Every structure is written in C-alpha cells, then in structure tokens.
C-alpha cells in the first residue's frame, strides 16, 4: 500500500516501540484451524448500499475442536454450518465486537482433518473507505474494496491474518449494465439470477492473504496493452478513461523490468490498475487488481508537470513491486510490514530511474533518505520491527519508518554488497518463500548466505533498534581516522535510556576510485581511510547515519562542495549540517553560508534540499517581522540572480531545469516575497488556469500557489469552479488544495466550511485542514475552527486521515499551543493516532527549542551580512 498522499508544495509537506512477545490481549486467531480455499459469492445492491454473501471455506483442522473462531465485522450471519467426516451440523454464533471476531460453536466435536464451513450473511457498503464500500461520482455509485490491513472481515468472514494464506474463487452478481474486476480474469458470464442481473465468475487465485483480495463493481472502462504475455489494463470511470494510456505505458515497462530483475516472472495472466473516485491511501497492491487514488494513476501527458508524471510512475512501480514483495511473499505478521513497504519503496525507484534517467531519481532517493533521518531522530520514533497486535496498532505501522527507513536500510546494504550480489540475495529470498510467509531473519539470512558478509549483523542493528547513529570523525592521519558513534537526536535535550550501537558500513570518498567501504562495529574506535584530497565519510550518500566533522575538515568540504562532491554527497552534507543546527551543535548562520556556497548548483534536488532548511529557518527560527524581512532580502540577493540566469521557459529545457526554475520562483515569491515575482505569479496563474497547455506545468503550478497565497475572492471562486467542474484529477486536486492557502480570513473560513460540507470527499477533507495547520498565517484560525466545529470535522475522518490531522498540529511553535493541542486531543480521541500525537507534541517542543537557541544566532548572522544582502530586490526577471 502506498500511503504517501502528496501535497502540492514543499512548504507544506507533512511530514518507540520494541519487539516483544504477543500479550494475552493480542487479537490473534487460534492456530488449530487453517483455511485452504474460499468460494465467495457476493451480490451488492449499489442503491441500498448493502450486499448479500454466500461463502464456503475449506479448512484443515489440526486437532479436534468444538468451536471455530474467525474474523468478522459489520456483517450479520444468516446461517453457519460445518461439514466434516460426512456429518453436517449447524453452529451457534457468538460475536466479540471489540476483537472483531466471530466464534462458531458446534454440538459435536469436529475431528482433525478436512472440513468445510458454509456461511450465509449480509453486510453494508460503508462510507469509511475500508472493507466493501461505496465510491461515488456525480452520476452513480460504485462498490469497491480496500482490505489492508484488517478489513477483509467487513466483506466476508475470514481468517483475516496474513499467514492464513488460501486460494479464492470469487463470483459477483451485478447489474446487467455493469462489469466487475477481481484478482483473476472473468472465466464465465451468465445472465441472472433474476431480471436485470448477470453473474461474473472469476478464475481461481493463487495462494494469498485475505488483505490482497479485491472486487470492484461499476461501469469501468480501460486502456489495454500486453507485456511478457501478461494482459495489462488501466481502468477508470468512463469520464476519465482518456487519462489512462500513460499508466499502460509505465506498467508495461515496469513489468518487464521486474521480470528481468527478480528472475521470477509475474505469475498471473493479467494485471489491472484501477483508479477509484474515493480511496483513502495512495494505492493498494491487491494481487492482479491494483487500486489507486485517481491522482496517483490518471494523468494528461500534455499538461502534467514533471513532478506529477514522476509521482504517478513511482506509485505504479511501488504497487507493482508488491506483486513480488507482499503478494508472492508476504510478511508473517504486521510487525514486519517493512518487508512489504520498505522493499516496494526501495525497488520502485529502479525502473523509474531506468525509464527516465533525466528525472534524476537517484538524487531524489538520497534527498528522501535525508528526510527519513530527520524522522528517525525524534525521541518518539520506533524500530523498523515493532509490536503491533490490535487493528489500531497495525494501522499506525504504515508510517515513514516502514516505508522510508526500511527502504533506506536496504539501500545502505545494497551499496555495501554491490548491486548484483544484493540482487542475487533478493532472488534467493523470494524463491525460498513463494506463495508463503517470511520474517526479517529470512531476508537477512538469505543475504548473508549469498554475500558471505555479515548482513545479519548490519540489518539486525538497524531493524531492531530505534533511531540512527551519529558518527563523529576526527582528523584523518596515517591512513586511519578516529570515529565515535552514538544515537542522534534532533532535540539537544533528549538523551537515550539505552546505549544503542550499530554495525554499519561507512564509505569514504576515494578520488578516482570512487569509494572505499569499511564496516564499523560497536567495538571499533577507528577505521581505515583511503588517501583522498578531501575527506568525506559518506561517499555516494547512501549510508544510514549522520556525520560530524572537525571544524577544519568541514570548512574544506564547504570550499570544495561544488567541485569535489557529487550531487548525492552535496545533498547529504547539506542535510547533516541542518540536522546539526537543529541539535544545536552548529549555528544557523553556518548552514546559510553552506546554502550560499551551493546557490548556483545545477541540480534541482540539491537546491530543493538546501531550500528546505531555508524555509524552516524562515518559518521556525525567524521570530519577528524584521528578521523575516532581512532573511527574505538575503534570499532575493542570493537566488534572484540564479533564477534570472535560467532565463524564460523553453521547449528545450531539461526536466531538471524546469523543476529548478519552479523551485527558485517559489522561494523568491514565498520566503523572498519579491513583489515582481508575485506579480508574475498572478499573470502566469491566470494563463495556466485558462489553458494549462500554454504554461510550463511546473512553473504554472508554483505560480498558482503563490497567486493563491496573495489572492482575492475572484481567484478563490475561480479555483473552486475548477475543483467542481474539472474532469482532470490533477487539476481538480491542485485547485482544492490551494483553497486553504488564501490569507484572507474570510476566504480561509470558506475553504474550511467547504471541507466539512460534503462537497469534498472524505479522502480529501482532512488534508485540507492538515495543509492549513502547517501554514504560519493560517494555523491559528484553522485550529480554532477545528475546536469549534469538531463534530463536523470528526465526521470526515477516516482511520488514516485522523492520524494525519492530529500529526499536522506539529506546525505550531509555542508552549501554549502545545498544551492546547495536548489538552484537546486528550478529551477528543482520534483512533490510531497515539503516535501521531506524541510526534506532533515533540515537534512543537523541538521548534520552541530551535527558536530559542538559534533565533539569537540568526539575528547576529543577519546583522553581519552586507547591507546589500539584507535589502535586496531584483529589478528584472525573465
């Protein structure tokens, strides 16, 4: 599953458990009965929002039992029988709503061996975006599914745990004018039962977990293709089918790439990718029937920005990687969800980078790694493998650790072993567990056996322990360098209760040789280093650690940052320095000096990474209007000439140049508040809204963002109309998100009213509040609105969106606001958001500390800048 729901602009991006035995209260099913095969027949009524189900489950009973317990929620049982040993008997049914379990008790003992359960039941097509639920357009209803992690039980009573793999026969009775999609192709289509209905019978699935089953009912239309003898379709509602061809092109490329990389062909005869109007996550990897939020799949290549095309390609590649990591081979339990999500995140970058080398995906990966290190340096982080027993705890596992840290750890190990050796280890792991389940140990033992290197020691230290190492280096001398490791925290006041140490590969820049990698173990106090004109201790930028250098070594790195380091290494140096600022072991002025040293860097990823710290300095460190004005002037003086140097957009611009121009335009207009840029933004926005093909898309989106921040009621009305009338999901979503950027209090209130009015889908409503909570000018009014209209806001929250809303209160930066947030959510509980609240409160505390410690240093640095640097305004831009 892809839970990354991208927000349109970097300025508003959203950003400690230990493994233990399962406690007595764990909601786990007994192991005495195991499913082998399900036969499901479902008949949804899309108007009444209900369905009927008939189900048989072939099971193996390992010892005689009088009762069978499985999972069920929001279903009503009509009859339950079991047939075993030639005897059929009727069950009495008892329900445990809290555990979402049903127990079938029988008068006579069921003997060990084969048995078949027969269940008739009814259910609801809910509005919660989970289980079997309704998805709506203005024209009609659709019945669709989302089962991960624990919601198959809302569609059919089941052994709803990942280790209970079985095969499935799915039959759907639907309206005559509708079709249906499931994991396998349709094998039989017969009229009835009854007038106006037809029955669709699908092929038998491979052995798989319950959460990967899917069935979707409606009038979907598709674009088709074929790759490696697999039929590929990208499907959508009829009004959006014209936006599906790009997905077919990407899916064909990715499928062939994965077949080649894994050495294990995709095993199903077809692969469908389906865009749904209502969908909580980004996408879901149902075996052979991947479902997507519309903006994660549908795109108009003529008007889409580079970032949008890259985003769609990445989500497609992520979900298709799951067909191997997660579907063919599934984690044993949810504590190892990283075996699914971390692998898919790591793997998805490879085909996209190969398909579009001009997108510099490898640099994006390193920038993402830097962001993950910031997340993992919070006191409230968790280990990659962590306790998860209840549905709420399991839902909280789908976070930046499962996706980002796990992916980055795999990147670190792959870099250490070499790509081909690591690939062979991946193949060995998959081949050993096809159609079965696996643990973390299964993976790292396979890599250890393949590489003959201590991958088990490396991965165990990074997977089982929370946090990350800070490696403090001495002066290199005589071919060696002193190194000390300790756990790193962004908050200087936080100390670890335990003495974490890691086994981690450390790669040193080695001039023409590239890199030399040494293995740092807990007992090492020094490492061998190659002779090199410049000492840099994270060659290639792929090491999962922070680095700190002596003052003269760091000064040499700054001097050589543009001539002696690669873009990957520049990203890591910038990230490490900003982390040191937050930890109060470096001054914010030092960071801004480093930013000035890379101002002319040709890479958008390098500049964007540097600007993230500039934005944080502007919004989280500068505390007075005077400081913001002075910092804005420095930004104009530093980046204005670089923006001017790029010149006006051209059809010959590379993807990187287009993104770089948009990044510089954005910082000059947002933090720099340059009046000429803001005026240009208004002009460009009007052209973009009138005809998206008339403006370079990346610049058009950024200009529209700046125009909205400085916009009036006329522009608000214009964007609202785009949201309400556009059939392009990208334009529609962008317009909606921009409504919360308006600074006029009356317009902001209109946007928030709209979010709870029913006009905005509940997949999007919480995101509107999340964006506004992150804005310095909008968060106070938004928080007041949430408190005063909590019943309406809460009614819009789905499971994942509730956690997002709670986490977005991290935008505050004062002790009174922190206390208010804590007090409010102590009496207004949001499911599956405990960790999100803890992290939000920690980030608020961290911001208060950052401002207190670095604010005076920023004032001193600004005062020391040349007068022209703090009063600059560019006279002419292209």
Distance CA 507, CA 623 (A): 39
546, 537 Cβ separation under 8 angstroms: no
- Strand pairing category for 480-487 and 526-528: antiparallel
Q: Cβ of 269: how many Cβ atoms within 10 Å?
A: 12
CA distances, 826 to each of 71, 806, 808, 815, 834 (Å): 30, 12, 16, 16, 10
What is the spatial distance between Cα 12 and Cα 624, in angstroms, rounded to a whole number?
Answer: 21
Task: Cis check for the bond before 233: say yes or no (omega within 30 of 0).
Answer: no
C-beta separation of 136 from 305 below 8 A: no
Q: In what order do the strands lie in the sheet with 546-548?
A: 526-528, 480-487, 469-473, 546-548
Closest residue by Cα to residue 494 from 16, 15, 858: 16
**What is the rounded CA–CA span in Å between residue 598 and residue 769?**
35
Name the residues annotated as catalytic. Answer: 319
Backbone angles phi and psi of 563, in degrees to 5: -110, -25
Cβ neighbours of 720 (radius 10 Å):
18
Cα-based angle 33, 35, 36 (whole degrees, multiple of 5): 135
Residues 6+ apart with CB under 8 A from 734: 8, 701, 704
**Tokens coding 88:** 């059929």
CA distance 332 to 319: 19
Distance (Å, rounded) from C-alpha 452 to C-alpha 428? 14
Neighbours of 774 (CB within 10 A): 23
Partner residues linked to 408 by β-bridges: none
**Widest Cα–Cα separation across the chain:** 93
Look at the block and give the residue holding tokens 């490879």: 350
Instruction: Please give the sequence-ordered ranges of beta strands (E in DSSP) within 497-632, or none if there are none.
Output: 504-509, 515-520, 526-528, 546-548
Question: Could you tell me what percentage of the chain is helix, strand and coil, using 3-state DSSP and rounding each to the nearest 5?
Answer: 45, 20, 35
Which helix H or strand E contains 606, and what residues bound it? Answer: helix 604-616
Contacts of 491 (CB under 8 A, 6+ apart): 378, 379, 582, 583, 842, 845, 846, 849
How far apart CA 629 and CA 618 sit, in angstroms, is 9
Yes or no: say if 553 and 475 are a contact pair by the CB < 8 Å rule. yes
């Amino acid at each position: 599953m892809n839970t990354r729901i991208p927000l349109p602009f970097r300025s508003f991006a959203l950003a400690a458990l230990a493994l233990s035995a399962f406690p007595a209260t764990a909601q786990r099913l007994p192991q005495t009965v195991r499913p082998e095969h399900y036969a499901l027949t479902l008949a949804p009524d899309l108007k009444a929002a209900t369905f009927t189900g008939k189900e048989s489950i072939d099971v193996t009973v390992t010892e005689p039992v009088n009762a069978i317990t499985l999972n069920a929620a929001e279903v009503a049982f009509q009859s339950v029988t079991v047939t075993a040993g030639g005897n059929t008997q009727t069950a009495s049914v008892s329900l445990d709503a809290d555990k979402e379990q049903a127990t079938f008790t029988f008068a006579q003992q069921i003997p060990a061996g084969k048995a078949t359960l027969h269940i008739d039941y009814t259910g609801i097509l809910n509005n919660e975006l989970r289980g079997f639920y309704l998805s709506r357009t203005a024209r009609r209803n659709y019945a669709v599914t989302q089962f991960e992690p624990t919601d198959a039980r809302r569609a059919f009573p089941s052994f709803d745990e990942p280790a209970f793999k079985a095969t499935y026969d799915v039959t759907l009775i639907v309206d005559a004018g509708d079709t249906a999609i499931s994991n396998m192709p349709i094998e039989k289509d017969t009229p009835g039962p009854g007038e106006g209905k037809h029955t669709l019978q699908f092929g038998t699935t491979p052995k798989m977990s319950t959460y990967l089953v899917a069935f979707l009912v409606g009038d979907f239309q598709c674009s088709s293709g074929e790759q490696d003898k697999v039929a590929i379709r990208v499907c959508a509602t009829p009004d959006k089918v014209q936006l599906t061809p790009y997905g077919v092109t990407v899916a064909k490329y990715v499928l062939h790439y994965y077949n080649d990389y894994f050495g294990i062909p995709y095993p199903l005869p077809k692969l469908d990718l389906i865009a749904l109007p209502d969908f909580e996550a980004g996408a879901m990897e149902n075996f052979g029937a991947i479902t997507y939020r519309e903006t994660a799949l549908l795109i108009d290549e003529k008007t889409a920005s580079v970032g949008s095309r890259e985003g769609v390609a990445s989500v497609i590649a992520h979900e298709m990687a799951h067909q191997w990591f997660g579907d063919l081979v599934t984690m044993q339990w949810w504590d190892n969800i990283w075996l699914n999500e971390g692998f898919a995140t790591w793997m998805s970058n490879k085909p996209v980078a190969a398909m579009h080398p001009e997108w510099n995906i490898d640099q994006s990966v390193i920038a993402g790694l830097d962001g993950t290190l910031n997340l993992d340096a919070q006191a409230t982080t968790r280990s990659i493998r962590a306790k998860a027993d209840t549905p709420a705890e399991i839902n909280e596992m789908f976070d930046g650790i499962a996706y980002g840290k796990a992916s980055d750890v795999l990147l670190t190990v792959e870099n250490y072993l070499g790509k081909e050796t690591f690939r062979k280890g991946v193949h060995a792991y998959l081949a050993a567990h096809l159609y079965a389940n696996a643990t973390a140990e299964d993976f790292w033992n396979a890599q250890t056996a393949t590489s003959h290197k201590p991958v088990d020691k490396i991965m165990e230290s990074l997977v089982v322990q929370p946090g990350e190492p800070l490696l403090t280096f001495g002066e290199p001398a005589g071919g060696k360098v002193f190194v000390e490791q300790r756990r790193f925290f962004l908050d200087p006041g936080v100390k670890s209760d335990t003495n974490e140490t890691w086994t981690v590969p450390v790669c040193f820049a080695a001039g023409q040789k590239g890199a030399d990698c040494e293995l740092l173990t807990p007992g090492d106090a020094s490492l061998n280093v190659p002779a090199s004109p410049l000492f840099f201790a994270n060659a290639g930028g792929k090491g999962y650690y922070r680095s700190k250098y002596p003052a003269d070594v760091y000064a040499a790195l700054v001097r050589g940052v543009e001539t002696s380091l690669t873009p990957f290494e520049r990203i890591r140096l910038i990230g490490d320095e900003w982390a040191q600022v937050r930890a109060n072991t470096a001054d914010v002025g030092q960071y801004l000096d480093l930013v000035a040293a890379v101002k002319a860097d040709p890479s958008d990823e390098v500049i964007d990474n540097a600007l993230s710290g500039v934005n944080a300095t502007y919004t989280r460190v500068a505390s007075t209007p005077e400081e913001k004005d002075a910092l804005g002037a420095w930004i104009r003086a530093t980046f204005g000439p670089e923006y001017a140097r790029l010149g006006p957009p051209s059809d010959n611009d590379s993807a990187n140049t287009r993104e770089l121009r948009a990044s510089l335009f954005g910082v000059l207009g947002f933090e720099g508040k340059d009046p000429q840029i803001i005026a240009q933004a208004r002009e460009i926005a009007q052209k973009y809204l009138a005809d998206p093909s008339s403006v370079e898309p990346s610049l058009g989106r950024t200009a529209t963002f700046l125009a909205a921040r400085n916009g009036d009621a006329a522009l608000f009305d214009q964007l609202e109309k785009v949201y309400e009338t556009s059939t392009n999901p990208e334009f529609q979503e962008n317009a909606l998100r921009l409504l919360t950027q308006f600074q006029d209090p009356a317009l902001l209130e209109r946007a928030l009213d709209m979010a709870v009015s029913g006009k905005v889908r509940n997949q999007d409503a919480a995101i509107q509040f999340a964006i506004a909570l992150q804005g310095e000018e909008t968060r106070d009014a938004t928080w007041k609105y949430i408190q005063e209209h909590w019943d309406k806001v809460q009614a819009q929250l789905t499971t994942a969106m509730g956690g997002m809303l709670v986490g977005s209160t991290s935008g505050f930066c004062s002790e009174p606001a922190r206390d208010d947030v804590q007090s409010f959510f102590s009496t207004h509980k949001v499911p599956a958001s405990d960790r999100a609240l803890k992290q939000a409160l920690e980030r608020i505390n961290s911001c208060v500390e950052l401002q207190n410690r670095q604010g005076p240093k920023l004032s001193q640095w600004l005062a020391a800048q040349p007068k022209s640097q703090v009063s600059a305004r560019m006279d002419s831009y292209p």
